[in-house]
Every structure is written in C-alpha cells, then in structure tokens.
Structure 1
Amino acid sequence: MRVFEDLERKLTLLKNLCDYADDYGLKIAAQTHTRGPLETIDSITKTCGKVGRKNFGVIFDAANLFIAGRSMELKL
C-alpha cells in the first residue's frame, strides 16, 4: 500500500515537527484515518510509540475506524 511506502520518512518528519513545536510549547496531533498508520487501535498505539514525543497525540475519530471496518477494541 502506497501510504506505508515512506512511513519511516513520515515518522522522522513527525519527530522533527514535534521537536520544533516543543520549543514553542506546542503540541502536534494527527487524526485517525483510513488506509494509513492511524487506521486501527493497534497501529495508532505503535505509531505513537515510534514517534515517541510527549507533545504528539492523536485526534480519535471513531467514524474513520468504523468506515474502515476496524474494531475500536485495544488488544492488550
């Protein structure tokens, strides 16, 4: 899937953006969406872990998970 082809580059950009924003006391948020690294609860958790910045978060839009046919259940 094309969305995941340059995932590492996107993660690096998010990390850099978070570092820059942190200098100004700002937070960065990405919205859950279909066909991407924020499509499932598990992938959201993994992506947040890979970004690894305290000022990075997710805008949880349950409708996008529903549209994608994904469960909103977190597997522990």
Structure 2
Amino acid sequence: MRDVFKALSDQTRRDILEMLKDKKLTASEISSHFDMSQASVSQHLKILKYNDLIYSERQGKYIYYHLNLSVFEEVIKWITQFHK
C-alpha cells in the first residue's frame, strides 16, 4: 500500500478524490476547483497516482483521471480486520 495513508492525510488530495468519485476529470477541470497553480494540482495527482489511488486514461488529446476503487477496497479490507 506504499504511503496510502500519507497520501490520504492531505486535505487537497482528499478533495480531489471526492471530485473523482462521481466522474472522471482532466487535470485542468480538477485545478479549476482550487486556488493554486495547475503545477501544484499536478503534484497532488502524481502522489495519488504513485499510491495507486487514481489512474489516468488518455482520450484524444486529454488525460482523464479516475478513482482506483480496488485500492480503496484493499484498505477497507485491511482496516475491517481490526473490528471485532
């Protein structure tokens, strides 16, 4: 799980994941929701992608970002093992 919990500890990255829960978005669409440079948003996307929380898909000239639900399922499975 690399640094999944570290990646999730940042509010901006959690906000990005919230945005991606309903639909795929481009980096530009994501960055329009934040008061920061597109380069900063791209850095957050890089961290999320490195930790397999999101994946990208090229469609024509655009790159769309999606949630990687299998990683969330793995994290939930790991956490629920502690619940008795």
Q: State the TM-score, normalizing by the size of structure 2.
A: 0.31
Higher relative contact order (CA 8 A, sep 6+): 1
More helix by share: 2
- Rg: which structure is higher? 2
- From the two aligned structures, give the one with the greater strand fraction: 2
